[in-house]
Structure 1
Amino acid sequence: ENVRDWIHTEDHSRAVWDILTRGRVGETYLIGANGERSNIDVLREILRQMGRPEDDFDWVRDRPGHDRRYAIDPTKLERELGWEPPHTDFREGLAQTIEWYRDHEDWWRPAKEATEARYAAQGQ
């Protein structure tokens, strides 16, 4: 099962800004929200929130060398810069994200169609 630390895009962007404006030059800060979830659980929650059956997807093989888990320790970011994510309710943040994509289809639809055309041209 593949696990990732899921973080709201606004929280991630704010952390990057805090690092750029208040972080120490030459230091490395890991951005995480202590929001580990399996990819399949996230997929099923997306499907639920979109009113689709939880099994409405196709399984694909992982690419070779694919990491099963990305462990992020944001302690240094929290300790040195006082950063913490304001969006801690995963379902609420996901609902906001889905709503944004529904409201901005004109922004993402052309990129999606171009990507699908490239895959089709490659026989995928």
Structure 2
Amino acid sequence: MKLSKRTKKIMIAAVSVIVLAFLCSLTAFADGEVAGAVESTWNAAKGQIKTIVNNVVFPVVDVILAILLFVKIATSYMDYRKHGQFEWTAPAILFGCLSFSLTAPLYLWSIVGL
């Protein structure tokens, strides 16, 4: 019995999917105290996470929100010149988000518990 190339490819793909599904469904058993290992890892990484979020994440979010705020104020002003009505909603929301993200490091860590 001779198989065509297409049939061979389909069979190889099917066997690959079955083997991958079998490997992903194996149960992993943990020996020892898993909770202690997770807790010690978290305690070791807690300071690094706080430093990265304070020095990288919040400044990036602040810069993006500031740029969006200035762009939205400019486009709102252009709409004001064109239509005679200034729309305050979007700049007010962006300003609120910017002020929230600028002050978040002051109180965020006490809420999270770090």
Same fold, TM exceeding 0.5? no
Pair member with larger Rg: 2
Higher share in strand: 1
Question: Under a length normalisation based on structure 2, what TM-score does the superposition of the two structures give?
Answer: 0.26
Which one has more relative contact order, counting CA pairs under 8 Å at least 6 apart? 1
TM-score (norm 1): 0.25
